[in-house]
Each structure stands twice: as structure tokens, then as C-alpha cells.
Amino acid sequence: MLTFVAKRLLLAVPTLLAVLTLVFVLVRIVPGDPTIVILGDQASNEARQALRERLGLNKSIGAQYVDFLVQVASGDLGRSLTTNRPIVADVAAVLPYTIELTLAALFVGCIVGIPLGVVAAQRRDGLVDWFARIVSLAGLSFPAFVSGILLLLVFAIQLRWFPVISTSNASDPLERLRALVLPAINLGFLMVAYVTRVTRSGMIKALGDDYVRTARAKGLVPRLVVWRHALRNVLVPVVTVVGLYLGVLIGNAVLTEIVFNRPGLGKLIVTALNQRDYALLQGLMVVAALAVVVANILTDLTYGLVDPRVKTA
Amino acid sequence: MRQILMAATILVGLGIGAASAQTTLNIGMAAADVGQLDPHRATTTQDKPVVSWIFNGLVRFKPGSASLESLEPDLAERWEQTPDGLSWTFFLRKGVKFHGGYGEMTADDVVFSLRKAGTSQTSSFSADYASVEAIEAVDPHTVRIRLKQPIPSLLGLVANYHGGNIVSRKAVEALGADFRLKPVGTGPFAFEGYKPGESVTLVANKEYFRGAPKIDRIVYRFIPADAARDLAFTSGELDIVYGRQDQRWAERFKKEANVVVDVVRPAELALLHLNTKMKPLDDKRVRLALAHAINRAQIAQFKGDLVAEPGVSVVPAGYLGTDDKAPLPKHDVAAAKKLLAEAGHANGVTVKSVQTSLPTMLNSMQIVQNQLKQAGIDLQMEVVDHQTFHANIRKDMSGVTYYSAARFPVADVYLTQFFHSNSIVQTPTAVTNFSHCAVADKEIEGARTATDPARQKELWMQAQRKIIDEVCAVVLFEQLQVWARKTNVDLGYKFDGAIHLGPVITETTAKK
């Protein structure tokens, strides 16, 4: 397994390099000037030019690219142009929140989506099946900022069960959990949609297979037939979807982070882009790309757990 | 005996509880993050209020006022100037301490601060100090400023605003570049912590020279999403919130129980800068036609009378030197069409504009576009994101530039930055002269050094009238600042003005 992980990480290097290069070039093509953000709109051209020289922004793009590669190769993501803070510190400050939210959304997605998909398949065209299909459609079509506001209006303002804005100042773990619930549901809604669909269609097929008919004929309890035998075979495509959309979750988290005012990687990327903070944006995109690579590796490893026939050599 | 011990324990516990109960003020700001808190670099709307809670100047704007006439002693107890106006001497308060154990504020810190403020590598406001010849410490509590030419409004340069904020020399030298996010001042609140994208926390400076603050802690939260910020305020998680400069928003929150909505000056003046070097706007008749096509009153009405007023001149109303009776071109569509015909555009004319996608600015321009259409002027807008807008207008790419800004409340600053030839875009000394206006340089420079206040006002008035006559810019409206707070927050003063773009939290501010 270690060999497998090492091979996959090595293969990730050219991927990361490609992402880095693309971000490096694209950010510099987009119009905008970080010196206006740093110095404000009352600063003269002279002052901005002097700052560009100090930040090395007056060098050719090629020279800036080489400087950047050398820096990254030595493990240094550099410093933010606007705050001068080490980018590693900024990433370390927000990454735990992104991981927390993504895992919570994943949990919501699986804990709701898998049972809902199973029951919908068992009672095809029944009330539960229709409900599952509507939930799935809503999850895919509802914009996250709309569902987020609705959740806040109902559960935070009317019922006062949860806070409106998240705070990392909460030293009490229960308070922190309370602040995570609504954002997790908001982001998890998308995951519920995907997982329900894949589980439902997989279960419909599995429940019609010969081995299930045989298990029923042998007199096995229906609950065991469905949850132990049929579902086991459906989990592989479910894991595939979860792994595939984990990257989507990380990207989609930005809207949830903004609506619920949670710190996070996505929100920081948007801020860096708005401020034309090239250095911060590059560093964050490296981390985001690495996160997707790690997610894919974990997905591949999970196959082995779910289906012993799959070996990770 | 056991009961006595239990009672004593309860009493002590209650006492400790009462002593440790802290008053925290939660403030919500419409921004994703702080810019920087070095006061000589803090230019953004979100940074300026925080800076005002941490720093002092030699003089200060009276809390709640944005008027130069309200300037009063702050770190300086008194001051003198020579009859020729070329030398000012400030006598400092004794025993004022910097935060964080950085010692007593002395003349050395003042000299260091003002020199730093006047240096382009360490200040975004260095141009304001171009007429300062020397700053010296006469003794540990006396500072002398010598000028190249008289500056009648010098007190504005040493006020608790922009470059006038006094920093600790030791702290700046010790912290270096980190000072921008670990500021050290003498104000009522000291910097405690910063969480990226979340908040800045300040704690009360118990040794503040005006008295210990009643508020123990300020948590300044960055909440860029309007809906989240409004809901957090409604739910009580925020005590003070940056309001939307929107009539409906102000009306909605005015109706809410336990809420006070403050609408204050200085306002941001919205102008249409007309590029006099770009066809067809290089023809004054076309520019005048554009000015006649604009209906200022209608735009202000659209914005709402609670949060906007029609502009009065090319300098915001209420500034020292604003010409309140400036002869602005009247709304007259027939006159506009006649001028266009005289200029050879009887069938209409097209003008181009680079425009920001920020909703509050874009919707104003859509009104303008519609008004211009009535006169046969087709305004084609290239809508881009806000950073691209700022970059492109400075590259002289726009024929019509909509720009909304407030500045230090003296006509000189606005006229210099927007209408002096030194500030023309794409030049080395460029600031924000998008129109390439150069008709009033003599009057602007003359007013800057005039020692007679009446003569100074006369020169400023002449400058404004020349600029209006040349149609370098068309005056639109003034957008007032909007804040909301819970009624249990007593600012400690009458909130009429916010020179720092937010309520000043002083030692007298309290939360019941």
C-alpha cells in the first residue's frame, strides 16, 4: 500500500506543476494591479512603481516564474503581497476549517444519501422514492447561497437554534460544533443529491441480480439481503462519486464559507483573486490541487476496504 | 460552619464572576479581510475605523465630527506658529504611554512618525507633506515643524488622520514589516490579535491618558456577505454594523426595534470625469452637452433622500473651500441636442466608458446611460470587475470615468488629486486626474499657500468654477455613510460625522 501511495504522489508532481504554471500565467494575464490595493487609490504612479520594484513585479514574467519555482522547490510558498504574512501561516490558519467543513458535508451526504437511496430503490415509485428524487434534484439545482440564507432565516433567526456567523474564537467544542451544523447541511445538500442518485440506481440494479434472488430464496432476512449483500456491491460506485465530487466540494465550499462567514481555503482564494495577490493565490492553488490529489488517493484506498477483490498494488 | 463556608464560597464566586464579566463590542464590517493597520498605509474603508481606535495625532477631530473647525488638542496640549507661518511648535502631553510596554511617547516618536508619513517608501500619504522642510525635536516634549511655504491647514496634517497618526519608533523598528498587522499606538484601544479573513481584536488601554475605556474588548468582524452581516446584526451577534448605502436598507433598519441608524458625512462625491484628450470628448461642446443631459436631482432621488443628496460642486459639500453656489450646467435635453448638432453630431454620438461591476456604482451608471440616451448620447460601458476597473482607468482607457470618493475635508486635496495637471493619469506623478484637466493649476497652487483665509477661499472658488466651465467633470450626487447600532450602545458623543469612515470608539463609549 505504501508503494501505491508513493507512486501516486510522484505522479501528482507533474499535475501540480501544470496547475501552478496555469495559475501563474492566468493571474498575470488578468488586468489589475496589487499595488493599488496595497497603497490605496490616493498613491501616485511613482509610489506604485517603486512598490512594484520592491515586490519584484517589474521583472519579466519568465524571471518571476523561475523565482517562484525555486521558492516552491525549497518548500517556501512565499509571502502575501498585501499582508506580508507567510502564506504557509495563512494556509495553516484556514485549512483545518475547510477540512472540517468538507468532512462534515461528506458525513451529512453519506448518512442521509445512502439510506435514502436504499429505501427509495426498495420502494420504487412510492412516496419515499418520489421524495428522494425531489431532494436529489433540489440539491443539484439549489444555489448554495440561496439555501444558506434560507437555513439561516429559519434555524438561526426564527428558531435561534444555531448562530448566524461562525467564529473560531469559540473555545467550547460544543459551540464550535453548533456553528458547524448549518454550513455542513448547506454544503452536504449537494453531496446528498449525488449519493442518493447513485445509491438508488445501483440498488435498483442490484436488487434484480441473481445473487439477491438466491439469497432471498435461501430464506435470508430481507434486511440482511439489502444492507449486507446488495448494498455492499453498490458501495464501489458510491465511493467513486464521493471521491470525484470531493474536489467539487472543496471548490463549492467557498459560497458556504461566504454566506456563513467561515474561514476557509475557498474564501481566501476569492479574496486573493480580488486583491490580485499573485503570491497568495499561487500558494493557495498549490494547496487546493494537493488536496484534490490526496482526496483521489484516499478514494482509491477506500475501494480496497469496500471490495476485497480490489487490490491496491 | 459548613453552611458559612458554602455561603462564603458562593459570595466569592459571584464576586469573581462580576469582576471577570467583560464588555465586548462586536462590530461587523463589509470586507473580506483587513488591509493593513499601519496608519500611514491604511487607506481602505475597513482599515480606517480600526486605526482611529488605536492611534492619536497631535490634534484630533472631535469624536462625531468631520469638520476641520472641530480640531482640538490630542497628544499636543498647545501649539504656536510664527507670524510668517513657516514654523509651528507643538508642546506635547507628558506621561502618555504607548501600548505593549513600548514606553512613553516623546518628541522623538513624533519626529519619527511625521518623517515616516512624509516618505513615499513608508507612507501612502507622503505627497501631503511635500511642503514640510524639516521636523525636529526641540526637547523631549516639544516638536518644531518648519515649512517651505506656509500651509494654513497644517493642523490637518498632524491630526489623527492618515499621516498625522503618531506611531512608536521603537515598535516600528522592532517589528519592521510586521508592524502593518501588529500596530502600536497610544489610543484608547490596543491591538490584541488578528485572524485572517475573520477578525481583528482590540483590548482596552487601561492607561489611556483620557481615562480607561468602558468597553473592555472590541471584536471587529469581517463579513463580506451583506445578508450574513444583516442577519447577524438582527440576531444580536453584532452590536454595530456597517450599513448599506441604500435607501431601502436604511428604511428597513430604522423600523427595527432597538436599532439606531446613523447616516453621516463626509459623503462620497460621485463625478463623471470626461477625458478631454479622447474623441469626441476633446470637443468642449460635446462635454457640455453631456453635462446638460444629466439630471442630478433624478439620480439623487433614485438613490434615496435618506442616503444621498445632489452634488453641489466638483468638491464635496461641507469641505473647507467648497463653492456651494457653483454654477452647474442645468438639466436641459434640448440644449444638449443643440450643442451636439453644433459639434457635428446631429444624429447622436457614442462615448465609451470602463465601468466597475460593483452593483452600487453600476446601477448609478445605468441611470446615467439612460439619461444620456434621451439626448442622443450612446454611452457604451465595458463592465469589468472592480480591480480591473481601477487598473484600466489609470491606464487612460476610459472616455467617461465614474468615480466616487471622499477625501480630507479641504478643497485642496480633492482639487489636487482630481484636477491638477500633476495628477493626470499615465504620468509619473499620476493620481486620479482622469479628465487630463489643467485649467486651474494656478488657482489650486495659489490657494495652497495663501495665508489670508478669504483669499484662499476665493482662489478655491475660482478653481472650481474654471473646472466646471471647462466641463472636466460632471457633478452627480453625494453618497452618505450609513451605520447601524443597537440602542444599548452609547457612543458617548453625538455622531454627526465620521472622518475615519466609521464611528470612533472612545473611552466614553459604553454598552449597557
pLDDT score of A169: 57
Residue A307 confidence (pLDDT) above 80: no
Side chain identity at residue B428, one-letter code? P
Taking residue A202's Cβ as centre, other Cβ atoms within 10 Å add up to 22
To the nearest whole Å, the CA of A139 is away from the closest chain B CA by 21
> B352 vs B242, B280, B320, CA distance in Å?
34, 10, 34
pLDDT score of A67: 87
pLDDT score of A37: 82
pLDDT score of A158: 93
Q: Residues B362, B383: contact at Cβ < 8 Å?
A: yes
CA–CA dist A35, B449 (Å, integer): 31
Average pLDDT over residues A128-139: 91
Residue A98 confidence (pLDDT) above 50: yes
Alpha helices in B235-283 (DSSP H): 247-255
Side chain identity at residue B314, one-letter code? V
Nearest CA in chain A to B224: A258
Digit-coded pLDDT (tens) for B279-315? 999 999 999 999 999 999 999 999 999 999 999 999 9
Digit-coded pLDDT (tens) for B86-125? 999 999 999 999 999 999 999 999 999 999 999 988 998 9
Query: Which grid coordinates belong to A30?
Result: 488578468
3-state SS class at A30: coil
A85 and B CB contact within 8 Å? yes
Digit-coded pLDDT (tens) for A236-267? 888 888 888 777 777 778 889 989 999 898 88
3-state SS class at A188: helix
Confidence grade of residue A294 (pLDDT, cut at 50, 70, 90): confident
pLDDT score of B17: 45
pLDDT score of B16: 45
With CB atoms and an 8 Å threshold, state whether A263 touches B196: yes
Average pLDDT over residues A86-94: 89
Q: Which of A43, A45, A270 sits opposite B124 (nearest CB)?
A: A43
Average pLDDT over residues A18-28: 86
**Could you identify the residue written with the cell 499573485?**
A278
pLDDT score of A246: 78
Nearest CA in chain B to A85: B178
Higher pLDDT, B221 or B17: B221
Digit-coded pLDDT (tens) for B2-48? 555 555 554 444 444 444 578 999 999 999 998 889 999 998 899 99
Average pLDDT over residues B244-251: 94
Digit-coded pLDDT (tens) for A188-238? 998 899 999 999 999 998 888 888 888 888 888 888 888 887 888 888 888
The percent of residues in chain B predicted with pLDDT above 90, rounded, is 87
**Could you identify the residue written with the cell 478514494?**
A299
Q: What is the 3-state secondary structure (H, E, C) of A110-158?
A: HHHHHHHHHHHHHCCCCHHHHHHHHHHHHHHHCCHHHHHHHHHHHHHHH
Q: Angle, to 10 degrees, between the axis of helix A127-141 and the axis of helix A87-122?
A: 160
Residue B276 confidence (pLDDT) above 50: yes
Confidence grade of residue B55 (pLDDT, cut at 50, 70, 90): very high
CA–CA dist A286, A15 (Å, integer): 10
Residue A299 confidence (pLDDT) above 90: no
pTM for this predicted structure: 0.88
A29 and B CB contact within 8 Å? no
Q: Report CA torsion sign: B251, B257, B259, B260.
A: positive
CA–CA dist B134, B145 (Å, integer): 6
pLDDT score of A313: 47
CA–CA dist B18, B496 (Å, integer): 35
Q: Which of A85, A90, A164 sits opposite B237 (nearest CB)?
A: A164
With CB atoms and an 8 Å threshold, state whether A165 touches B120: no
3-state SS class at B204: strand
* Cβ-Cβ contacts under 8 Å, A275 against chain B: 387
| Averaged confidence pLDDT in chain B | 93
CA–CA dist B317, B322 (Å, integer): 6
Going by C-beta distance under 8 Å and a sequence separation of 6 or more, which residues neighbour residue B178? A84
To the nearest whole Å, the CA of B487 is away from the closest chain A CA by 19
pLDDT score of B1: 62
| For testing contact with chain B, the best of A165, A169, A171, A281 (most B CBs within 10 A) | A165
Which letter, b or e, does each residue of A4-41 get, where b requires 16 or more Cβ atoms within 10 Å of its Cβ? eeeebeeebeeebeebbeebbeebeeebbbbbbbbbbb
Going by C-beta distance under 8 Å and a sequence separation of 6 or more, which residues neighbour residue A3? A313
pLDDT score of B18: 45
The percent of residues in chain A predicted with pLDDT above 70, rounded, is 95
Residue A303 confidence (pLDDT) above 80: no
Digit-coded pLDDT (tens) for B351-383? 999 999 998 899 999 999 999 999 999 999 999
CA–CA dist B379, B397 (Å, integer): 14
